[in-house]
Chains A and B, each alone.
Chain A
Amino acid sequence: MEYEAVIGLEVHTELKTNSKVFCGCTTAFGGEPNTHVCPICLGLPGVLPVLNKRVVEFAIKIGLALNCKIAAFSKFDRKNYYYPDLPKNYQISQYDLPIAAGGYLPIEVNGETKSIGITRVHMEEDAGKLLHSGESISRSPYSLVDYNRTGVPLLEIVSEPDLRTPEEARAYLEKLKAILQYTDVSDCKMEEGSLRCDANVSIRPVGSDKFGTKTEIKNMNSFRALQRALEYEIQRQREVLESGGRIVQETRSWDEAKGITVSMRSKEQAHDYRYFPEPDLVPLVIEREWVEEIRRSLPELPDARKERLIRDYGLPPYDAGVITSSRDLADFFDRTVALHPDAKTVSNWVMGELLRLLNAGNLDITRSLIKPAGLAELLRLMDQGTISGKMAKVIFEEMFSTGKDPGTIVREQGLVQISDEGELAAVVDRVLAGNPGVVEDFRAGKERALGFLVGQVMKETKGKANPGLVNKLLKERLGSN
């Protein structure tokens, strides 16, 4: 039987505010354990929460960017459950009246666009961090609790079960990340936990409109992990069904090292969160005017930016898609084009050398030592004929690793192209004289022999010869006869 997967994602993202959602503690990442805490986020007896206005602004912003309806009336609720990373043993969250709902996010997979429904976006507080003494949580005789992250604002973004393949899930998460970064509400660092993703997965026979029993997959800490975990889980479910078994509704954890999902048995299987309205916070009445003000402040979003790059610069849709997948990358592109208006060349360099080196070093564009001005200058030197394309690549690598500007590298390494005709002519003559056989071949009609001769000239000049000029000189000497 042919199966298809039904996948929905629950994404949690920490918001980039200065202070926590209900108290004035800093949200800065890192810091010694329990140094970014106060009576409020520690949940001491008697404390009360006061809502950070920027959290609401950010939530509305994301709601709008995801084409949601922003609630006119919203409130907070308590979600009650016991866990040592939750000092009050309830999480202030939103239950039945989330700030935003009913949106969609278009994604593109294999050149096809598909709209993924956004069920809801809601605000809540993050929990603390547990450090285990042993190799795993259940094997540790004790654990240590750090409350620095407790109370950091979170948005939970829940998708409809509209995703059908691990690739779609990955594309959705990448697109969502791009939007969170474009709107500047989150750093989205999966390695620091500021972007986290859980997946609900089930499979069903192709053509069926019923949902199968789903499992919830947790602990996927990268895009790759998401894709691999889903691939594994779909295959696992298929094998269970094909061997006549039944899927158990449960939470499973992705084990990155083993490449499998593992059932997380909890003592309390029956969760009963006993949601009720948070009495310590008053409701939110969201004025249309506020929403419109935030709408006006929205930056150009990835899709619009992609369209602009295609329209204004004639970039291929694929290139435009790659460049706009990250706001920082697109900003780098735009800033470079502002200095060096040959957009296609800039795009080629960004798509080629820059991304190659970034990926090889597993670096983010914000950590790149190459700045737009540097790349623009490099391209200018190439246009002027000061350096060759081949030199440019060498210089680019040097710029990437040292951050030096191209002019300096050219000077330091004597990489200036030889464009002096007299100087090159002498080299050309020497090469022709030293390779009579090849000259014969060329004259006998072997066009490829020319390439060899060019190569010899470049070798003699340590790659500094202006290739155009070398070609011209060779042809003059060979072809005119």
Chain B
Amino acid sequence: MDLHYMTAHAIHKLLVAREVSAAEVAEAVLARLEAVEPVVRSFVTTTPELTRAAASRADEAIARGERITPLAGIPMALKDNMCTKGVRTTCSSRMLENFIPPYDATVVVRLAEQGSGLIGKLNMDEFAMGSSTENSRFFNTKNPWDLERVPGGSSGGAVAAVAAGQAVFALGSDTGGSIRQPASFCGVVGLKPTYGLVSRYGLVAFASSLDQIGPVTRDVTDCALVLNAIAGHDPMDSTSAGYQPPDYRECLVPDIKGLRIGIPREYFGQGLDPDVERVVREAIGLMEELGAVVDEVSLPHTEYALPAYYIVAPAEASSNLARYDGVGYGFRVEGATDVVSMYMKTRSEGFGQEVKRRIMLGTYALSSGYYDAYYLKALKVRTLIRGDFDQAFKKFDLLASPTSPTVSFKFGERADNPLAMYLSDLCTIPVNMAGIPAISIPCGFSQGLPVGLQLMGKPFGEETILRAAYAYEQATPWHRRRPSLEVQQ
């Protein structure tokens, strides 16, 4: 198999066996990146020098006979909302087009400690607001499985790069499904960890109480390896849990006998594409064959999750994005003669339509006289949504559902109707509202496009999720499928 399509654990074996050098891996992935980038367009910035430097450090360590970490010399990419010291971090926004952070996000430090080499920064919906990456202020990223379709969003660049062989793995961020939904659209593995498991320090905030960073990988084993690298307490993040994460490789056991899996009936309702439902139900059937005990469950407040989310997330965003004002960093309009007009013009030109829409929505929801009706109400709904999951997890170890009610859609198809776009996040949003972990893994195809299976777990239940995902993956071929990108190499 081509080096650029290999998983990190497979490459690691070759490196350790000295069958291939990290430099060769780096060059192969860099060549692939260059070759498919003109059609896929995953990257906002590329950093080949950093990839090569990490590769040569890995090769030197191997030459010295040292033990290398599982991610040493592996080319990886970051969604462009994670701060990288000296490498511009744009959030795919005109506002931060030239912003060069003077510091590294905690996840960046941790991957550097692993010896993994940054290959570039990935396109996204502006400030992570969107479900198709069409809200990037720079360009559209294409779905490698069908270049006329969206990769999903907001981590569209991350999943497209991993699916197209442009990076071995990537980190995305997930506020309402932004890792899982695109992972399902592009046939890769995407995990949103429990809120507080991975440090948010250095992740440009969208909605602070919902945001989590997670791995985007080609299989579940890589997911466990990357999670090992990035999970764990960080004193720089007050919301980072004191939880001591286990070695997630140890849950890569293909055994789910007796595992109790609940099927939330509300996730199979209106709007679910029948063929997607068929594929997902087949996947659940297979898990049952593998020994899982499957039964239906109700999460009665599911329908309220979406409206509550679209209050909480924009409200927090309206405050988090207030700092982009043209004073200390980022875009500033020319020629404003007073500071208020400088603010207003800078923000109007610096932000795109979706970001402005959400800032308006969130500002309104927090404004005098409406706080109780919207924001406080939404926080109470949040309590009820958590309660639903708490109840369900008394009876079940995991919950399974489609990740998205549809497969990837065509560019422009939903661009004119923000509400319709919001509704497509129905299955992923409750997970963020409750702070629980969930994974999307490839579970088949519909109309030739990948379908994702979402497995949701208890808080800090990543081990159970990974074990079930691994067992399913080992019994199916989907994770080995690659898009047939017709490019000259």
Contact = CB atoms under 8 A, between A and B. Distances in A.
Chains A, B in direct contact (C-beta < 8 Å)? yes
Contacts of A82: 322, 325, 340, 343
B366 A44 contact: no
A279 B316 contact: yes
A44 B238 contact: no
Contacts of A88: 322-323
Nearest to B340: A267
A272 B238 contact: no
A89 interface: yes
A267 B363 CA distance: 19
Contacts of A51: 238
Interface string A10-51: 000000000000000000000000000001001111111111
Contacts of A48: 200-201, 236-239
A222 interface: no
A87 interface: yes
24 contacts: A44-B102, A44-B328, A44-B329, A45-B83, A45-B96, A46-B81, A46-B83, A46-B89, A47-B103, A50-B235, A50-B237, A51-B238, A82-B343, A84-B339, A87-B328, A88-B322, A88-B323, A89-B322, A90-B319, A267-B340, A274-B366, A276-B371, A279-B207, A279-B316
B202 A46 contact: yes
Given A46-B101, A281-B238, A276 B315 contact: yes
Given A46-B205, A141-B337, A276-B315, 6 more contacts: A44-B103, A45-B96, A78-B319, A90-B319, A274-B319, A281-B239
Given A267-B340, A274-B319, A274-B366, A46 B325 contact: no
B375 interface: yes
Contact of B328 (A42, A46, A274): A42
Contact of B238 (A89, A143, A276, A280): A280
Nearest to B90: A45
Contacts of B82: 46
A145 interface: yes
Interface in A68-106: 78, 80, 82, 84, 87-90
B204 interface: yes
B409 interface: no
A47 B339 CA distance: 25
Q: Which of A51, A84, A282 has the most CB of B within 10 A?
A: A84
Contacts of A274: 318-319, 363, 366-368, 371
A45 B328 CA distance: 11
Interface string B297-316: 00000000000000000011
Given A46-B203, A82-B322, A280 B239 contact: yes
A51 B101 CA distance: 23
- Which of A43, A44, A78, A89 has the most CB atoms of chain B within a 10 A radius of its CB? A44
Nearest to A138: B338
Contacts of A80: 318-319, 322, 366
A92 to B, nearest CB: 11
A83 to B, nearest CB: 8
B228 interface: no
A279 B208 CA distance: 6
Interface string B133-160: 0000000000000000000000000000
Contacts of A267: 340
Interface residue SS majority, chain A: loop
Contacts of B318: 80, 274
B322 A46 contact: no
Given A145-B327, A280-B238, A282-B238, A47 B201 contact: yes
Given A78-B319, A87-B327, A276-B315, A45 B101 contact: yes
Nearest to A34: B328
Contacts of A89: 322-323, 325
Contacts of B201: 46-48
A80 B320 CA distance: 10
Given A82-B343, A84-B327, A39 B209 contact: no
A20 to B, nearest CB: 14
A80 B371 CA distance: 14
A321 B12 CA distance: 77
9 nearest A-B residue pairs (beta carbon): A89-B322, A279-B208, A274-B366, A279-B209, A45-B204, A46-B202, A46-B83, A88-B323, A46-B204
A45 B323 contact: yes
B99 interface: yes
Contacts of A84: 325, 327, 339
B235 A272 contact: no
Nearest to A83: B339
A451 B207 CA distance: 87
B101 A50 contact: no
Contacts of A141: 337
A453 to B, nearest CB: 78
Contacts of B323: 43, 45, 87-89
B91 interface: yes
B105 interface: yes
A145 B81 CA distance: 27
B380 to A, nearest CB: 13
Interface string B323-343: 101011100000001011001
Contacts of B204: 45-46
B202 to A, nearest CB: 4
Interface in B190-227: 200-205, 207-209
